[in-house]
Structures are given as structure tokens and as C-alpha cells.
Structure 1
Amino acid sequence: MSMQQRYYLRENVYFEPLVLKWYAWPYLLPPVSAAMNITGRSLRLMKSFVANHQLHLAASKNPELSGGDFVNCSEDQLDNVRGLIHDIEHTHQDYLDLRKAVAKLNEMLEQAKGLSLEPLYAQVPEALRGYVELIYDMNHNASFRLIEGLIYESPLYKPLAQSVSLGLLGKVKERPFVLSSPRLPDENHLHVEVPFAHDFIDTLFAARGTPIEREQIDRLFDGVGLQGGLTVDELFTTEPPRVTRAALEGRLRVSYLGHAGLLLETERTSILVDPIIAVRDQANGDRVLSFSELPETIDYVCLTHTHMDHVCVETLLQLRHKIGEVLVPKNGGGSIVDPSIKLMLQTIGFKVREFEDMEILDCVDGRIRAIPFLGEHADLHIRSKTAWYFEFAGQKIFSGADSSSLDERMYERIQKVIGHIDLLFIGMECVGAPMSWLYGSLFTKPIPREINESRRFNGSDCASAQKMIEIFKPSQVYVYALGMEPWFKYFMGMDYTEDARQIQESSQLLEFCAGRQVQSERLFAKHVWNFS
């Protein structure tokens, strides 16, 4: 590198935030759910890999098992996996103690019969003592509430266990599925020992669009721990991004980013919804809307719910330097399965505002409203979920995420408030994974098979989506959030066939829309709408 030249972060650099070398999805940020996942899932997978790595390697190469619980580390990383197991079981013994404490407290509360819980506080296991409130629901079933804000201030929140990994698409053939494999330093990656709140991340990713000098790069990487064979020089180029932000045409532009991601832009306001931004490389080319095409400032990021394909920590951290405020659904408070999105994002450096159901934010040239949604959460008591409704430039846009019309009366009541809409975006992952796939490690007893298979992460099927169309009478309907884009396979773990029920149901919906002269499409790759 020359001292006189200025350098951009390469477009094909990809980034993975890590907690104890595991990909940081939302349930690895809150301390208690992190402890439950690390001890109940990560340790189990790594020990299985050490015991029978050949089975894992064979399974991870089978497309039919995409997204399964198979570690995709190379055979020469066995010792590193053993080392990570040892580190968790010894340096982070408090995580194992915390899991045992949750199990013991659950067993203790199962014995409560509706009488006062006050005498039980002295029996709360030490790892949780002072961090919980004992409570009954209205049917006299005992439970506990985590005092999350206090726990984030305790040693159970571990910024020093956080780090980041950088790689280059093209140099790596395929990123392994994020939930099943630890990310260990190797010849194709550079691991940087910085916590997520560190301004290293903001400075690095601002260089995607604003070049920096070699001296700034040296200062950026000086003093931080580095591991891996990928060099700092390989991350940068003197070439600016090939595709940059296009001029705004008309009063409103809506862009589909892939999966459930949307970008709404006017001359005065820019909004991202559930962003998962793809890294551009030669394979996906112009089919993705990547970082270089985003506005210089994102006024608001609207998040629908805590699942990792909607609260994508990987994308959010790369955009933190340009985000004004993150808007999130109101949290119920203190449940292991429903951690506060506000707290987890505030802790890593974001400005966050919670929204009640139907609450409105008036912007300078439009409005944003939080809309309640049902479904896709395995019937668990999870408050942190909302769809988003936007009114800009005369357009009414409903970003429904994984909503399902389990009770159409709710949407009928909402329609009386907001009226008909113009654009409906609706997810149709109608055959979701069983409850244990995402929440299994948060339980301290095995989930009975019948319950696990019955309570799945199902979004809308055709009948459910039809109800919403009949109620809101949209002029355009777009099916999204199916995980179809191949560049998100590392994240979604999906590989549909033509006879998959999700494809069949969404095709039926498109036929239904065509019969009603409603414009419709199953979205795939970049798509842009301009409204004048």
C-alpha cells in the first residue's frame, strides 16, 4: 500500500460478529439466553463434532441437510474446537452455573401451588439471586422475571467474549451455516479481538464509501488482537465501489433488499426494515442491493421481531455509523424466550426506541406505525413482535414480515383504523421449523415430540394471506421473506425445491391475486419501485 493513496474497504469483504467464536444472533447478546445457548447448544454440537467429526463433515456437505445441527469445521481444527470447549467449561464456568440455576429455579417453581412466593426468594440459586422476580400469572402458574437491565450491568454480560471475523467472498467458496459451527481463525479469515461497541467497527465500515489513508488503516488495526491468515492489505482497494447510490426518482422509492429487507426513501427520510444486506461479489453481481447503494444516513431502522433473519446483528453493526434510530417492538419484560431488543441493541451502541401496538411516529414527510401481528412464534408468550405500516408520498405500505391471519378480526379492526393499503409485503414461510430448532436450548427439560411438532414457526399460507388481501384490498401484493436468495443460504439454511409447500402456497396466492386483477410477485433479488 502506498502512503499517498486512499483506500476503500473491498465490496466482497464479509463480516461476522462472534460471541465465544459463535456467530452472534440476537439470542447470544442477552446474558442469560447467551448462557443457555452456549451451554445447551454450542457445547453439545462441539462435543459431538470431537467425538465423530467425520459424520459432521459428511452431513454438512449434504444439501438435503442444509441448516442442520452439523459442525462444518475442518479436520485440522479439532484441537481448536477442543480448546474452545475447555475455555467455555473453565473460563466461563458461570455460564454453566447459570443454566443449572435456571433449571433448579424452574423445578422449584413447579411446586408452587398459588400460595405466596415471598418465602422462596431465599432459595433462589446463587447464580440468579438478585436478578429475578418471582411471579404468578392470572391462572396461578408460577414463573420468574429476569431483571435484564441489571444483568447487563453484571459480570454475566461479557464484552471481552466478543470479537469479529472478516473474510473475502470468492476466496471462501461458501460460508457455513451460522447456527451450527464455531468460527475459528484460519488462513481465509482475520479475527479481530474487539467488542461490538468498539468504534473500530464504525471506522472500518465507513470506509466502504469514504476512502481512508494508509496511516488511518495502520492506526485502526494497531493495538487490537489479530488472528488468522487473511492480511489487512487484502481487505482494502484503491478502486471505489462499482455500483453506487442512484438518484431518487419521484417522491418515494421503495427497494427490496432480499429476504425481508426493505428500504424506503424520500428526499427527507430514509428507512430500513429488517435489513440483511448482501455482500456483492462476482457471483451475485447486480442482483443484490449492497452497502454502496444505501443512503449516507439511515434515519430509522424498523425491526419486526427477534428472529435472526429480522434482527441481523451482522448487518446492523456494519450500518451503525449511519443509523439515526432503531425502532423496535415493545418488550414484555424479563422472559428468557423474549429478551428486550432495546436493551441488547443499546448495549452495543445503538439509539433505540420501543413502540407499543398501533403507536405512531410522525416524520417530517410521512408517518410510521407499529402494527400487531400474530403467528410464527410457536405460541410462546413473546411480546417483542410488530409489523410496520408506512404512509409516504401518498402511498400506504404494509411490511407484514411473518404475520399470519390466525384471527382475521384483528386485521379487520386494524383496517378500520388505517384503511386500505397500496403495497402489502407478506412472508409465506408456511412450514416453519419446530419450536426446538430455535428455542430448544432455552428449555431445561426436553420438549415432548407431539408439542414440538405441533408448535412450529409457521407464517402465512395462501388462505391466511388471502384473508389479509380481502381485508386491506391492496393494489399490489409481494411475497417475501422466504429465504430464497442463494447468497443468504449461510444464514437461512434453506434450499427449496419446486414442490415445496412454501412455493406451492405462494404460487396459489399469486393466482388468487391475478384473478382479482391485483399486481403480485414472489420477490427474488433486487427490486425497486418509484412513486411520483
Structure 2
Amino acid sequence: MPSNLYYLKESVYFEPLILRWYAWPYLLPPMSAAMNLTGRSLRLMKSFVANSRLHLAASQNPDLAGGDFVNCSEDQVDAVRALIDEMQTEHKDYVELRKAIVQLNDMLDKCEGMSLETLYDSVPEPLRGLVELVYDMSHSASFRMIEGLIYESSLYKPQVQSVSLGLLGGRLKERPFVLSSPRLPDENHLHLKVPFADPLIDRLFATRTRPVTREQIDAMFADVHREGGLSIDDLFTTEAPRITRKPLSDGLRVSYLGHAGLLLETAKTSILVDPVIAVRDEAHGDRVVSFSELPETIDYICVTHTHMDHVCIETLLQLRHKTRKVLVPKNGGGSIVDPSIKLMLQRIGFDVVEFEDMETLRCEDGLIRAIPFLGEHADLNIRSKTAWYFEFAGKKVFSGADSSSLDERMYKRIHQIIGDIDLLFIGMECVGAPMSWLYGALFTKPIPRDVNESRRFNGSDCASAQKIVDIFNPSEVYIYALGMEPWFKYFMGVDYDDDARQITESGRLLDICREKQVRAERLYAKQIWELN
């Protein structure tokens, strides 16, 4: 490279990894990480080693997108076998932890309401000192993880964290699905052995909009272990980003970022909601809102719930250098299916604030409020979920995410407090995956088929969303979080046809809104509202 100023290319994408697997929220907390890595990742890799051609054929079949098929090449079989051996030997504590959780659940299943105090000496050794034995109000025994203590133990392993950088365009046209395959070094990627809290990540992603010299680039990577065929030179360019943020002097600007992502801006405050920021490449171009269009400082990032399309570790790490605070829902405390978002994000370098239901933060020129939501969590006791309500520049915006009006009386009570709203954003993934798709590895006994099919991650259908519309009387309604944008297929793994229930149900809601003379739209790609 000549001696100039360089930017990280807009087409560079980033994947945080834990033991070579894509870091989604349930791989950060140590106990759920152990359960998923040993209960799911190992199973998939062993199946791949036993029959790699079956996996390769299935992973290339569009009809099986998002399925449990490892998308590694045949010449990576030995590398997958080595990763299996590493997990079973160097990280045997994770294997033992899963066994201990199974044993503890079996022991607690036998309890019949009598005191649990005498059982502490029988807690399996890997869990001793890390759990509290408890009953619920129906006298069913369970245990509570002492999460803060677990993060301070050897079970939290920043040393197994690394990152991968890829480049869209040229040899690689699209990103492969992230959940079913380990990410191994290859000719199309550069792997860096750095933990997520490392300042290198902040310095690197600041160069998307702040150029650096070649000497600064060399210093940035000087002591970092690197693998893969993509070179550092491949990542940088002397060309500044083509699309940048437009100045804002007054009013409220709301930008749709794709999927469930929103950006709210005033002259004094900038807020991101559930950001999943896409990289801009030649295929998708101006339809994508990418990093160069974001404010220089993000005052608040609001996340709604722990699912990976709402707490996107990949995007959050790339925004950490410019983020002041992350606002998250209050955690219930110690459930393996409901880990603390606050604790996991604090561990990787964020300043995090938890919000109770209906709690309000007053900003210099407006307010942010946490709104309870029902549904989309397979009826499990998941406390870590909230919708977000905003009042800025005389406008009211409700980011409902995957809310469902299972009990519209709750929303009527909320309406009595906040009144009618201007913009309503609501997800309508009304046929979600079965419970085992996300939580299967966290259970220690098989989930009965009928139970698994009944308890899905369903958002609102037309009837449910219509109740929310009728209650809040919005001026405008926008349906989002359907995973329709093709550049997000790498984590959504969905591809709707016109007859899909998600499309027909959301289409019915659009018709109902138009009959009510309410502006309504199913969102797709970039969209911006200037509200003065």
C-alpha cells in the first residue's frame, strides 16, 4: 500500500467466535455456552465427520436453509475432528458441567416439597458454590445460577474467543448460515486471536469512518496471531465511504435499518434499537443502511430480548467504540434459559443499564420507556424482554419487536399511561420455530414432540397485531422483523414465498389499516422518516 490514509472497506464483515462457533447470545454466558457447545455443536461436528458428503449436499440445498447441516468443505474434516478433540480434552470442564446439570435436575425432580437444605452436599462438584436450590410456588424444585460468580470463575473463557473477517464480493458472494457450522480459517477469511473485550476491535472498526495511516494499521496488527488466506491489505482502501450521515438540526429522524433495527435521532440524542447492521456491497448497494450512515456517537442502544436477531453481538462489538450506554430489560435472576443480558454485555466492554417494566429514562430532549411484552418465548419464564417507547420532538414511537397481544388488557393499561402513538413498529413472525430450535440444548431431557410443536417462537398474527393497533390508535403502522432482507439470510435462514402465513397475515393487517385510513407498510430495506 502507498503512504495514504486508509479506511476499512465497507464490504468487510465480521464474525465473533467462541471455540470457532459464531457468538450468539447463548454462547457468552458460561453455563448456556457449555450446554450448547457440548449438547449441539459437538453433535453436529461428529455427524459431519461421520458423513461429510451428506452435510455438504444438504447445506447447498436452498430448501434446507437454516437447518442443522455443517457447511464445511471436505478438506476441513480433519480440522473439524481436531476441534472435537479440543472441546473434549482442553474443555472437558464444559462436558462435565453438562453432566452435572443433568444430574442436578434428576436429583431435584425427586423432591416433593420438603426442605432442600440437606441437598447442598449432594450438588455435583462442577456446580458446587455456583447455584442456589429453590422451589417455585407450586413446590417444583429447581436451581438458580449465581451468574455474577460464574463469570468470575474459570468457566468464563475469554481465551477461546476470536474474530473472523471476511470480504463480500469477488470470490465470496454471500455469507454462509452462521448457526450450524464452526468457522475455520480458509482462503476467504482472516482469523484474529483476540478476545471480545480487546481494544483492537474498537480501533479496527473506528476505521470504517476515521482513516488511519499504514503505520497505524501495522501497529494495530503487530502482535496479533493471524490465520487464513485473506490479507490485511485486502481489508483496507483509500476510498472514503460513499454514503455518510445527513446532518440533522431539528425534529426527529427515524431510520429503518433492516430486520428489527431502528435509529432515532434528534439534534441532541441518538438511539439505536436492536441494531443488526449490514455491510454494504455491490449486490445490495444503497438499499442497505451501513456503518458509515450512523452518528459519530450513539447515546443509547436499546435491546428488546436475548434472541440473536435482537442482541446481535456481531453488530454491538462493531459499535462499541462509539456507544455510551446499552439499555436492556431486567433479568429474572439465574435461569439457564434466561441469562442476564447486562452481565454478558458488561463482560465484553459495554456500560449497561437494566430497566424494569414501565421504567423511564428522561433524556435532555425526550424520554425512553421500557414496555412489557408478551409472547414469542415458548411460554418459558423469560424475564429479559421489553419493547421500547420513545417521546422526542413531540412524536411518540413504539418499537414493539415480537410483541403479541395474548392479553390485550395489558396493552390497554399501558395505553392509559402513554396514550395514542404516532409510529408503531410491530413484528409479525407469526409462525416461529419450535422451542427446541433455540433452547433444545439447554434441556436435560427430550422435549415431547407435541410440546415442542405447540410451543413456538410465535409473534403476532393479524388478529393479535390488530388488537395492538386498535388500542394504541397509531397514525402509521410498520411491520418489520420478518427477516425478509436477503443480506440477513446468514442468520435468519428463511425465504418466504407469497403463500407463507407470515406474508398473508401481515398482508391482512395492511388491508385493515388502509380501511382505517392508517398508513401501513411491510418494511424492506432502507427507509427514513423526517418528523418535524
TM-score over 0.5 (shorter chain): yes
Contact kept, 8 Å, 1:7 with 1:237, in 2: the verdict is: yes
Contact kept, 8 Å, 2:288 with 2:526, in 1: the verdict is: yes
Secondary structure of the structure 1 residue equivalent to 2:376: coil
1:416 aligns with 2:428: no
**Residue aligning to 1:266:** 266
Which amino acid counterpart does residue 401 of structure 2 have in structure 1?
Answer: A
Q: How does 1:456-471 map to 2 (within 5 A)?
A: 456-471=456-471
**Residue aligning to 2:430:** 430
**Residue aligning to 2:389:** 389
1:205 aligns with 2:188: no
Q: How does 1:513-524 map to 2 (within 5 A)?
A: 513-524=513-524
Q: Could you list the runs of 5+ residues in structure 2 that have no partner in the other structure?
A: none
Q: How does 1:108-187 map to 2 (within 5 A)?
A: 108-170=107-169, 171-187=171-187
Report the more deviating stretch, 363-372 or 169-178.
169-178
**Residue aligning to 2:340:** 340
Contact kept, 8 Å, 1:11 with 1:208, in 2: the verdict is: yes
Query: In 2, distance between residues paired with 1:249 and 1:445?
Result: 57
Query: In 2, distance between residues paired with 1:440 and 1:352?
Result: 28
Secondary structure of the structure 1 residue equivalent to 2:446: coil
Query: In 2, distance between residues paired with 1:518 and 1:11?
Result: 37
Secondary structure of the structure 2 residue equivalent to 1:164: strand
Contact kept, 8 Å, 1:430 with 1:458, in 2: the verdict is: yes
Query: In 2, distance between residues paired with 1:487 and 1:87?
Result: 33
1:377 aligns with 2:353: no
Query: In 2, distance between residues paired with 1:30 and 1:130?
Result: 17
Which amino acid counterpart does residue 13 of structure 1 have in structure 2?
Answer: V
1:101 aligns with 2:100: yes
Secondary structure of the structure 2 residue equivalent to 1:248: coil
**Residue aligning to 2:61:** 62
Shift of residue 250, structure 1, vs aligned partner: 4.2
Contact kept, 8 Å, 1:250 with 1:531, in 2: the verdict is: no
Shift of residue 166, structure 1, vs aligned partner: 0.3
Secondary structure of the structure 2 residue equivalent to 1:39: helix
Query: In 2, distance between residues paired with 1:23 and 1:173?
Result: 19
Shift of residue 174, structure 1, vs aligned partner: 2.2
Query: In 2, distance between residues paired with 1:426 and 1:63?
Result: 28
Query: In 1, distance between residues paired with 2:239 and 2:92?
Result: 47
Query: In 2, distance between residues paired with 1:472 and 1:442?
Result: 37
Which amino acid counterpart does residue 297 of structure 2 have in structure 1?
Answer: T
Secondary structure of the structure 2 residue equivalent to 1:411: helix
**Residue aligning to 1:45:** 44
Query: In 1, distance between residues paired with 2:397 and 2:17?
Result: 35
Shift of residue 175, structure 1, vs aligned partner: 1.4
Report the more deviating stretch, 428-437 or 172-181.
172-181
Which amino acid counterpart does residue 94 of structure 2 have in structure 1?
Answer: Y
TM-score, L = length of structure 1: 0.99
Runs in 1 of length 4+ with deviation above 6 angstroms?
none
Shift of residue 173, structure 1, vs aligned partner: 2.3
Shift of residue 6, structure 1, vs aligned partner: 1.1
Q: How does 1:280-291 map to 2 (within 5 A)?
A: 280-291=280-291
Q: How does 1:185-224 map to 2 (within 5 A)?
A: 185-224=185-224
**Residue aligning to 1:484:** 484
In angstroms, what is the RMSD of aligned CA positions?
0.6
Query: In 1, distance between residues paired with 2:377 and 2:224?
Result: 40
Query: In 2, distance between residues paired with 1:98 and 1:156?
Result: 9
Query: In 1, distance between residues paired with 2:309 and 2:183?
Result: 19
Report the more deviating stretch, 247-256 or 177-186.
247-256
Which amino acid counterpart does residue 50 of structure 1 have in structure 2?
Answer: V
Residue by residue, what CA displacement relative to the aligned partner does 1:216-240 show, whole Å, maximum 9, x if unpaired?
A: 1111111111000000010001110
Contact kept, 8 Å, 1:269 with 1:299, in 2: the verdict is: yes
Contact kept, 8 Å, 2:249 with 2:266, in 1: the verdict is: no
Shift of residue 290, structure 1, vs aligned partner: 0.3
TM-score, L = length of structure 2: 0.99
Shift of residue 246, structure 1, vs aligned partner: 1.3
Secondary structure of the structure 2 residue equivalent to 1:127: helix
Contact kept, 8 Å, 1:148 with 1:334, in 2: the verdict is: yes
Query: In 2, distance between residues paired with 1:363 and 1:211?
Result: 32
Which amino acid counterpart does residue 480 of structure 2 have in structure 1?
Answer: Y
Residue by residue, what CA displacement relative to the aligned partner does 1:216-269 show, whole Å, maximum 9, x if unpaired?
A: 111111111100000001000111011111122641100000000000000000
Contact kept, 8 Å, 1:250 with 1:530, in 2: the verdict is: no
Shift of residue 172, structure 1, vs aligned partner: 1.3
1:26 aligns with 2:25: yes
Which amino acid counterpart does residue 310 of structure 2 have in structure 1?
Answer: H
Contact kept, 8 Å, 1:248 with 1:266, in 2: the verdict is: yes
Secondary structure of the structure 1 residue equivalent to 2:524: coil
Report the more deviating stretch, 496-505 or 174-183.
174-183
Shift of residue 427, structure 1, vs aligned partner: 0.1
Query: In 2, distance between residues paired with 1:173 and 1:33?
Result: 33
Query: In 2, distance between residues paired with 1:250 and 1:489?
Result: 36
Q: Could you list the runs of 5+ residues in structure 1 that have no partner in the other structure?
A: none
**Residue aligning to 1:317:** 317
Contact kept, 8 Å, 1:146 with 1:334, in 2: the verdict is: yes
**Residue aligning to 1:276:** 276
Query: In 2, distance between residues paired with 1:178 and 1:330?
Result: 28
Secondary structure of the structure 2 residue equivalent to 1:424: strand
Secondary structure of the structure 2 residue equivalent to 1:529: strand
Query: In 1, distance between residues paired with 2:227 and 2:325?
Result: 33
Q: How does 1:240-251 map to 2 (within 5 A)?
A: 240-248=240-248, 250-251=250-251
Query: In 2, distance between residues paired with 1:475 and 1:454?
Result: 35
Q: How does 1:347-386 map to 2 (within 5 A)?
A: 347-386=347-386
Contact kept, 8 Å, 1:249 with 1:530, in 2: the verdict is: no
Shift of residue 84, structure 1, vs aligned partner: 0.4
Residue by residue, what CA displacement relative to the aligned partner does 1:390-443 show, whole Å, maximum 9, x if unpaired?
A: 000011000000000000000000000100111000000000000000000000
Which amino acid counterpart does residue 184 of structure 1 have in structure 2?
Answer: L
Contact kept, 8 Å, 1:360 with 1:367, in 2: the verdict is: yes
Query: In 2, distance between residues paired with 1:174 and 1:480?
Result: 22
Residue by residue, what CA displacement relative to the aligned partner does 1:111-160 show, whole Å, maximum 9, x if unpaired?
A: 11111100000000000000000000111100000000000000000000
Contact kept, 8 Å, 2:188 with 2:229, in 1: the verdict is: yes
Secondary structure of the structure 2 residue equivalent to 1:318: helix
Which amino acid counterpart does residue 336 of structure 2 have in structure 1?
Answer: I
Number of residue pairs matched by the alignment: 531
Query: In 2, distance between residues paired with 1:444 and 1:291?
Result: 41
Query: In 1, distance between residues paired with 2:215 and 2:93?
Result: 41
Shift of residue 62, structure 1, vs aligned partner: 1.0
Which amino acid counterpart does residue 430 of structure 2 have in structure 1?
Answer: C
Contact kept, 8 Å, 2:389 with 2:396, in 1: the verdict is: yes
State the identity as a percent.
75
Which amino acid counterpart does residue 353 of structure 1 have in structure 2?
Answer: V
Contact kept, 8 Å, 1:432 with 1:456, in 2: the verdict is: yes
